[in-house]
Amino acid sequence: MKILFGGDYNPEQWPEEVWKEDYRLFDLAAIDTVTLGVFTWGLTQPAEDVYDFTVLDAVVGRAAAEGRTICLATGTGAHPAWMARAYPEVTRVDFEGRRHAYGTRHHSCPSSPAFRRFSALVAGRIAERYGDVVTAWHVGNEYGGACYCGLCAAGFRDWLRARHGSLDALNDAWYTRFWSHTFGDWDEIEPPSALTEHWRGPDHTAFQGITLDYRRFMSDAMLANFRDEKAAVRAFSDAPVTTNFMGMYQPIDYHRWASDLDFVSWDNYPPDDVSYARMAFTHDLMRGLKGGAPFWLMEQTPSITASRAVNPVKRPGVMRSWSWQAVAHGADAVLFFQMRASRGACEKYHGAVIGHAGRDDTRVFREVAALGAELRDLGGLTVGARTPARVALLFDWDSWWALEMTDGLNRHLRYPEIVLAYHRAVWSAGADLDAVPVTADLGGYDVVLAPALHLLKGDLAARLAEVAARGGTVITTFLSGLVDEHARAYLGDPPLTSLLGVRVDEWDAREPAVVNPVSFADGTAVDARLHFDLITPLTAAVEGTYGADFYAGTAAVTRNEYGGGAAWYVGTVLAQPGVDALVRRALDRHGLAGPYPDVPDLEVAHRVTAGGVPLMFLLNHRDEPVEVVADRDATDLLTGTPVTRGAPLRLAPRDVLILR
Amino acid sequence: MKILFGGDYNPEQWPEEVWKEDYRLFDLAAIDTVTLGVFTWGLTQPAEDVYDFTVLDAVVGRAAAEGRTICLATGTGAHPAWMARAYPEVTRVDFEGRRHAYGTRHHSCPSSPAFRRFSALVAGRIAERYGDVVTAWHVGNEYGGACYCGLCAAGFRDWLRARHGSLDALNDAWYTRFWSHTFGDWDEIEPPSALTEHWRGPDHTAFQGITLDYRRFMSDAMLANFRDEKAAVRAFSDAPVTTNFMGMYQPIDYHRWASDLDFVSWDNYPPDDVSYARMAFTHDLMRGLKGGAPFWLMEQTPSITASRAVNPVKRPGVMRSWSWQAVAHGADAVLFFQMRASRGACEKYHGAVIGHAGRDDTRVFREVAALGAELRDLGGLTVGARTPARVALLFDWDSWWALEMTDGLNRHLRYPEIVLAYHRAVWSAGADLDAVPVTADLGGYDVVLAPALHLLKGDLAARLAEVAARGGTVITTFLSGLVDEHARAYLGDPPLTSLLGVRVDEWDAREPAVVNPVSFADGTAVDARLHFDLITPLTAAVEGTYGADFYAGTAAVTRNEYGGGAAWYVGTVLAQPGVDALVRRALDRHGLAGPYPDVPDLEVAHRVTAGGVPLMFLLNHRDEPVEVVADRDATDLLTGTPVTRGAPLRLAPRDVLILR
Amino acid sequence: MKILFGGDYNPEQWPEEVWKEDYRLFDLAAIDTVTLGVFTWGLTQPAEDVYDFTVLDAVVGRAAAEGRTICLATGTGAHPAWMARAYPEVTRVDFEGRRHAYGTRHHSCPSSPAFRRFSALVAGRIAERYGDVVTAWHVGNEYGGACYCGLCAAGFRDWLRARHGSLDALNDAWYTRFWSHTFGDWDEIEPPSALTEHWRGPDHTAFQGITLDYRRFMSDAMLANFRDEKAAVRAFSDAPVTTNFMGMYQPIDYHRWASDLDFVSWDNYPPDDVSYARMAFTHDLMRGLKGGAPFWLMEQTPSITASRAVNPVKRPGVMRSWSWQAVAHGADAVLFFQMRASRGACEKYHGAVIGHAGRDDTRVFREVAALGAELRDLGGLTVGARTPARVALLFDWDSWWALEMTDGLNRHLRYPEIVLAYHRAVWSAGADLDAVPVTADLGGYDVVLAPALHLLKGDLAARLAEVAARGGTVITTFLSGLVDEHARAYLGDPPLTSLLGVRVDEWDAREPAVVNPVSFADGTAVDARLHFDLITPLTAAVEGTYGADFYAGTAAVTRNEYGGGAAWYVGTVLAQPGVDALVRRALDRHGLAGPYPDVPDLEVAHRVTAGGVPLMFLLNHRDEPVEVVADRDATDLLTGTPVTRGAPLRLAPRDVLILR
């Protein structure tokens, strides 16, 4: 057992003579794992009645013969061209109401009977044929997008019947007396799209209720596709089944999916080349999907991503550093897309371990091979390790959706950015964090963050109050807890009122350029922007006050003693230093900050091995070296260097230490 | 009789126990008027053959029992879901050629036989049932948008036959020998859309003639919808009928509608929170629709509007100040949208007199109640009063449309912005202004402004010349009077040439960042941008000259003595101080400036009551107090405070005086 | 024989009494040539079975009677309205999948049987009727755009069969094993559009292979339309046939068309009013289409273009200067759009020799008449002259398309901008340049520029090597020569490796604001942006090195001695001074710079007359006068002024000299 290393490998694109060279290079780079067959449907089922495993037999057979760990895909990430022609229903109708013809990928209607039948069939055939050599199953690929066709409309109506029971309940949930929208027949309900309830795109809807439900339905419809294939696989193989998630991917509520996956895997394509803090959060979020269990980093690029407008190359050391970061946050596998660069099509310039020239002396290959050696030398110690976090951050797709599709707020507010600011404060302080669903057991956490948790479900209000009641700290912000699961406003005092000890009758919104400075008791002042709650403290103490506008001097940030604990309320978008300061106060109250909270961009993360051994990961994300004082006697697992408590500890630029 | 106070009230969204609390709060706030039933079609006609007035009976009955003035809607602002399913023709086809399914509102095809039949039927039923308790009728809601379906195409052809008489006349009007466009059959004519004559949206058309006619047709088609319902109402009730307009709303030519309304009402949602000057103009424009008769302010928000990307809250005092501004410009009613905030859907965060918490101690409620008390105390003095303006500004939808859909100009030119600059000059000077159609009688005006009046209809050129001939002043600008009603260029000297005394052979256009300073005889210089006429003075005197480019030193602004009066021509987009200065010269020539023309943001407006009593409104729009010297002995009607000519007159920030 | 002068003339839009005035004005301006009938199809064929030449007889007859040179159009630039109604297939389906109805122009599906039949029929009728008075034929108008209908899909499949022979070959060329795209039946192939292979518009395709082929097919499909009409014309007339091209127009590969035209003509509408260097290149590109043969400047505006968002007027002298620039680069005709301004439709404000006022005393008319006199006085000396260029720039539509539709590069890279930078360096130095296809004979050139030549076809790599081998200089850049004709990456060392002597394993991309300074041996440093090759020199010498980022100090620009010559490689987007410097070094090596390479914006161009007389054109593009020293004894042909070698030579702002 060790951390798996390798990635997506598409030898079916190449003549077999190339394969030999590939494996020679894999050996050079200590690559032990290949993900095969992600887009092979057209190859394995070249016509409706023809299955042809000639090529896949060779591909899988060679990988097995070479002794690699095999993650085998069902290959259904793109349907074959013949299927779109024979069954036009398999292609999607987009948000604009247009039926697509054959092309690209991620293009199958999740409600299509043909797609569902054929995808399960091919998945079963593959599982039957290769079950004995496969370590893990990779179903579909990066599920996402949405379809608005008639079949989906019918499926939506069925889903609504099951959810709401009656049209009366649905009309009540969606608040359809507004704008004369009462539905008198299920068949009157159309998917919410540019042709029905929306204008200016998916975030502008006349009724949040229908749009929220459609997103839930669409997430469930694709989950049904996953289940179709998983069931077909399970009939022939007990190997664990996953599909590759995409981190903070808005269209799919991964919390609705997590229990169906045997383990979580995800593709890490950060939006730029400086977002290591963001990535730390995304790893935590993916780890949180299954209660903290380790995950696979299913894809990352060794160098550039091809799909953005501007694609910067990963600087020297960055690929290594980010790979170890994944391990620090719970990865049991470090995999790349892709092993060899395609000759053609839109990903031909996407980074690859082996480039078009096929060389083993490129910078990229050398860095990959060096990492491979490190991973091989480390062995299995971290496999199965857990993160000992006492800080939880509630992440909620429903709140994300609701916040960004609701009129009357500030359209510049983006849920992930708000969440990331609170995560970053914890990350900077060096405290471990679990990003968990609102249904998670909060019993083990000292600090619970619930930024911008607009939509309140179930008994969460009570459970948050319990956190404070037992001495913990809750931190939440503007717009939290204002609407129920149907995005209907709470009437009277909303559920979090007594915990927070404040009332908010109204808010102001301003363009991004407008700054209102918020002053704290310690004399500091930080910029606030975009959204400004006008707060009436009830039982809460005022911690920060606005400095400008007609609400100058009124509360912007409050803290309410509650039971043995406290609840913070932040009524505005504070600049990062403000968020850092108040989160730090909460962490310090519980003694949760790491050893180096004041060293910028020095990441600290902990894991506890299956055998109970605590490990501390230190990652220097800076382009300069950093030196700190060791807080323990330890050994660096990557170099074997002993570390003495109190002695200087030096990390080169982008370097990583794993202290045992 | 007093100024009506209240607004849109949707108790059908609430259980009846809430209604009692509503009326308690209405009493607290002196709310005497409710607009009911704006979106009740789905409720009153839940199926094609079913009318059900149970809820509306209760709603209207309760309002009547509570002694409120009732403005009752026909409820046709959105058709029911069943109608879209049973009659797919009732939904619209958009500019992109897409047939919409059921959703949102403002979605009924104006040419749909089903919509026309059912809307008239339901309007009649409602009028029959509630005619005896209704003070005013509210037909439809915010008519607007456009449809491009086959039924509209057929209606368009009929409309064209009536307008042009023959295809030869139409081909001539549209200039169809250009680009081989001669129509040989009426059925060859398609609505001008993204699929036919347009590219890059509604403002880029290959033929202005067809697009102008389609806009006129669409405006008329919706007017026919209004007439359908009004006729149905009139069969049962003599109460006055209106619909709520939207100020400078481009798609509908309100001048084509005005005579059909018994009184004008409009919804005031300014685009930002600092546009009081713009609002003053919009009030003047709405008042001008029916020859200066008072109007209703049918909707305004008490706090925030929900529909914009960023929705700032109205600062303390702003709602009051803007309400009185409406009265100062002719409002006999001050109404809000909405009385109680919806729990769900896209307007749930739109400002409301009563918020989700249902409190009477919010800032918003207190301000509404205070205004209610002021209005109650003022009584009926202003009701029916008129504005004694001697300045007219010609506003013309045809010119707006033509200017913004024509190639060869500067696409950064926006008709409303040009118009508003000239209005602002008059407003700043404290002179009353009527915004009137080009067909208005100009006999009573000393100064007539016709900025950017691109399209010249009827005998307007002669009537403008008469204004100058009898001693008045005409002010016009670049691009005025160049095309006829079909947007065909005039040949030879265009009709305004002799009045203006200039010739313009060509113009230059520049990006917004390019400035050309225009110098005046008094030594001042102001920036000019975007459009630069190259002017050859014929009989006019040069007032301002360009300072840069190859036309440096040539005329930018001219003034032509004509009869006993004069005509100014402004050949470029002057910065506001330049417009202010030249308009001020014209006003001063006629002694029309108000008492405080040099006090920024102190608005002055006059009304003369039905009994002949002159009133002067003073509104301080600043966040600071302002002090001026009283120009008369008077009494402030809001406080009863006596005012002595020559004594200091102090207005607090956002304060209002009504001097009698 | 003289340079033809005149332009598009549409008397069919006017009553005949206007025609007389037109010809009076033509005489005043020495206008000898009229292009007639460009949009007359609706007039000549008012119904399917009716041809009516009444008006065109009068138009052509009058022009002939007035003794003008007639360029007669077939009139098929827009089909008649009746045709769209009777044959809906003639309208296009757009990239978004929408079938258009009748409207605008450039709207005929190239694959429509109705369009092909009727267009050939009308072209033949016109040729038969007017062949004896016509000097040149103008087929269609500004061919362009694209159609995505079912007929085009069928045509595409036929085209693909002819090109690829088999589906196996096609699948291999398009690399369809990627994303499961293998096509098993020709009918599975759909046009690549927003509904199939594209997202975010025409430049984002999943498969470059299909999109490249569709562009080639579409270019060929319209060429077939041209051939249809040309064949119909040729049946009745031997006069030369052309159509008006549009310079660097991306949708049509003019190199695929050139051999079908009897002579090249093009419409010069630069994107702004300062792009004279760009225009010089476009003239060179158009001249290069037919091996350097002179072309017609078919259209230019005398003052403003109407179609842009902001339309600046041509400054005094600019129209003259730019007209002579066309002659300097190979024009045998200088023609305007348009002779008289339309009264209506979208081009009514487009510049015209005769404006709406019909005056002969406007600035525009006077400048046109003055130019007319100059051209008349010059006579025929330049007609048929050739450009003696020893510098070639390879321009390639395939590379343009491939570069801008490929993921993994920097989306801010624009092929024309890269090309123009290299052209500008040559232009500034005063060297003549031929812009030629990659198939051109390179034997006569000392310097060959191949910037951003991404896609390598045929034996070009070998022919470029020959240039260097025989002592010439080749200059190429980043991203050149990386893919084959199907946009598949070359494997191993790409074909240009030995010529260039460098290896590029990877590149970096950065946002436009990021600058990396490149330092040269002479101590200069210039900014580089957007794309940064990481270069490993093999045999090449390093000429410039990066100054920043992790590749600081590594090669950015190299020069490889090869045979008797050399090959430069520029790995980044150098700012213009950097390109200027290295191109100048190459030119100087071959003694190719003009006499005034260091005088900014003084253009130098040479032609050699049919009789062998060398001419030098000097154009001062500055707003200030410029003075240089004459490099020869000569006579200025426009003024007759003698010029003495060594004496001062003064050019007024915008002035032109033609030295013989």
Crossing angle of the two packed helices B397-404 and B415-429, in degrees rounded to 10? 130
Distance to chain A for C150, nearest Cα, Å: 12
8 Å CB contact of B357 and A511: no
CB proximity under 8 Å: B 404-423 to C? 406-412
Q: By the CB < 8 Å criterion, does A12 face chain C?
A: yes
**pLDDT value for C82:** 98
**Contact residues on chain B for C350, CB-CB shorter than 8 A:** 407-408
Same-domain check for residues B266 and B329: yes
- Cα separation, B170 vs B177, whole angstroms: 11
Same-domain check for residues C556 and C609: no
**Which chains share 3+ C-beta pairs under 8 angstroms with B?**
A, C
Q: CATH number for the domain including B426?
A: 3.40.50.880
**Contact residues on chain B for A408, CB-CB shorter than 8 A:** 304, 306, 311, 347-350
Q: Is residue C317 part of a domain?
A: yes
Q: Is residue C227 part of a domain?
A: no
Nearest CB partner across the interface for B197, out of C104, C313, C350: C104
Instruction: Kindly report, residue by residue over C345-378, the tens digit of the pLDDT.
Output: 999 999 999 999 999 999 999 999 999 999 999 9
Instruction: Kindly report, residue by residue over C404-422, the tens digit of the pLDDT.
Output: 999 999 999 999 999 999 9
Task: For residue C221, give Cα distances in angstroms to C101, C245, C251, C529.
Answer: 21, 16, 12, 38
Q: Is residue C455 part of a domain?
A: yes
8 Å CB contact of C100 and B195: yes
**pLDDT value for B271:** 86
Beta A525-537 vs A502-509: how paired, if at all?
antiparallel
Which among B283, B369, B364 has a CA at the least distance from the CA of B327?
B283
User: How many C-beta atoms surround the C-beta of residue B307 within 10 A?
Assistant: 15
| A96 confidence band (pLDDT: 50, 70, 90) | very high
**Contact residues on chain A for B311, CB-CB shorter than 8 A:** 408-410, 509
Supply angle C-alpha B444, B447, B452, rounded to 5.
120
Distance to chain A for C489, nearest Cα, Å: 5
8 Å CB contact of C509 and A100: no
**B411, closest residue in chain C (CA to CA):** C309
Distance to chain B for A423, nearest Cα, Å: 26
**Which chains share 3+ C-beta pairs under 8 angstroms with A?**
B, C
Q: By the CB < 8 Å criterion, does B209 face chain C?
A: yes
3-state DSSP of A186-197? HHHCCCCCCCCC
Ranges of H-type helices in A29-112: 41-44, 54-65, 81-86
Q: Which of B559, B589, B619 is the last residue of a domain?
A: B589
Q: By the CB < 8 Å criterion, does C341 face chain B?
A: yes
Q: By the CB < 8 Å criterion, does B304 face chain A?
A: yes
B605 φ/ψ angles, rounded to the nearest 5 degrees: -145, 145
**pLDDT value for C272:** 83
Q: Is residue A70 part of a domain?
A: yes
Q: By the CB < 8 Å criterion, does C311 face chain B?
A: yes
* Furthest-apart CA atoms within chain B: distance in Å: 75
CB proximity under 8 Å: B 344-383 to A? 344-350, 355-359, 362-364
Same-domain check for residues A366 and A499: no
Q: CATH number for the domain including A52?
A: 3.20.20.80
Distance to chain A for B96, nearest Cα, Å: 10
Instruction: Kindly report, residue by residue over A108-133, the tens digit of the pLDDT.
Output: 999 999 999 999 999 999 999 999 99
Supply angle C-alpha C104, C107, C110, rounded to 5.
170
8 Å CB contact of C355 and B506: yes
Which among C494, C496, C495 has a CA at the least distance from the CA of C505?
C494
Q: Is residue C350 part of a domain?
A: yes
The DSSP call for residue B658 is E
Q: Report whether pLDDT(C273) > 90.
A: no
Residue tagged active-site, from C89, C142, C197, C374? C142
8 Å CB contact of A209 and B345: yes
**pLDDT value for A196:** 98
**pLDDT value for A274:** 85
Same-domain check for residues A414 and A456: yes
Q: For A554-573, what is the mean pLDDT?
A: 98
Q: Report whether pLDDT(A267) > 90.
A: yes
Same-domain check for residues B411 and B358: no
Same-domain check for residues C316 and C424: no
Average pLDDT, whole number, for chain A?
A: 97
Chain A and chain C share a number of CB contacts under 8 A equal to: 176
Q: Which of A354, A378, A402 is the last residue of a domain?
A: A378
**Which chains share 3+ C-beta pairs under 8 angstroms with C?**
A, B
Same-domain check for residues A559 and A612: no
Q: For C606-632, what is the mean pLDDT?
A: 97
**Contact residues on chain B for A199, CB-CB shorter than 8 A:** 104
CB proximity under 8 Å: B 44-73 to A? 46-47
In DSSP notation, A559-599 reads EEEETTEEEEEE-EEE-HHHHHHHHHHHHHHTT---S-TTS
Show the low-confidence residues of chain B (pLDDT under 50). none
Q: CATH number for the domain including C635?
A: 2.60.40.1180
**C10, closest residue in chain B (CA to CA):** B178
Q: Which domain holds residue B640?
A: 602-659
Strands (DSSP E) found in B43-112: 69-73
Q: Report whether pLDDT(A626) > 90.
A: yes
Instruction: Kindly report, residue by residue over C75-97, the tens digit of the pLDDT.
Output: 999 999 999 999 999 999 999 99
**pLDDT value for A271:** 85
Beta bridge partners of B508: B532
Same-domain check for residues C446 and C362: no
Distance of CA B305 to the CA centre of its chain: 18
Annotated active-site residue A16? The verdict is no
Nearest CB partner across the interface for B43, out of A182, A209, A505: A182
| A160 confidence band (pLDDT: 50, 70, 90) | very high
Instruction: Kindly report, residue by residue over C224-248, the tens digit of the pLDDT.
Output: 999 999 999 999 999 999 999 999 9
Average pLDDT, whole number, for chain C?
A: 97
Same-domain check for residues B244 and B124: yes
**pLDDT value for C274:** 85
Question: Hey, what are C480's tokens?
Answer: 């050149």
Q: Report whether pLDDT(C18) > 90.
A: yes
Same-domain check for residues B488 and B569: yes
Distance to chain B for C327, nearest Cα, Å: 26
Q: What is this model's ipTM?
A: 0.96
**Contact residues on chain C for B530, CB-CB shorter than 8 A:** 310
**pLDDT value for B273:** 80
Tell whether A346 is in a known binding site. Answer: no
Annotated active-site residue C142? The verdict is yes
Residue tagged active-site, from C229, C299, C404, C603? C299
Same-domain check for residues C119 and C265: yes
Q: Is residue B173 part of a domain?
A: no
**pLDDT value for B272:** 83
Same-domain check for residues C103 and C246: yes
Query: Is the peptide bond prior to B338 cis by the omega test (within 30 degrees of 0)?
Result: yes
Residue tagged active-site, from B197, B229, B299, B466? B299
**A206, closest residue in chain B (CA to CA):** B346
Distance of CA B571 to the CA centre of its chain: 26
**Contact residues on chain A for B84, CB-CB shorter than 8 A:** 188
**pLDDT value for A457:** 94
**C208, closest residue in chain A (CA to CA):** A345
Q: By the CB < 8 Å criterion, does B269 face chain A?
A: no
8 Å CB contact of C206 and A101: no
Residue A324 in contact with residue A619, Cβ under 8 Å? Answer: yes
Q: Is residue A191 part of a domain?
A: no
Q: By the CB < 8 Å criterion, does B147 face chain A?
A: no
- Counted domains in chain A: 3
Q: Is residue A203 part of a domain?
A: no
Q: Which of B378, B399, B431 is the last residue of a domain?
A: B378
Distance of CA B112 to the CA centre of its chain: 27
8 Å CB contact of B184 and C100: no
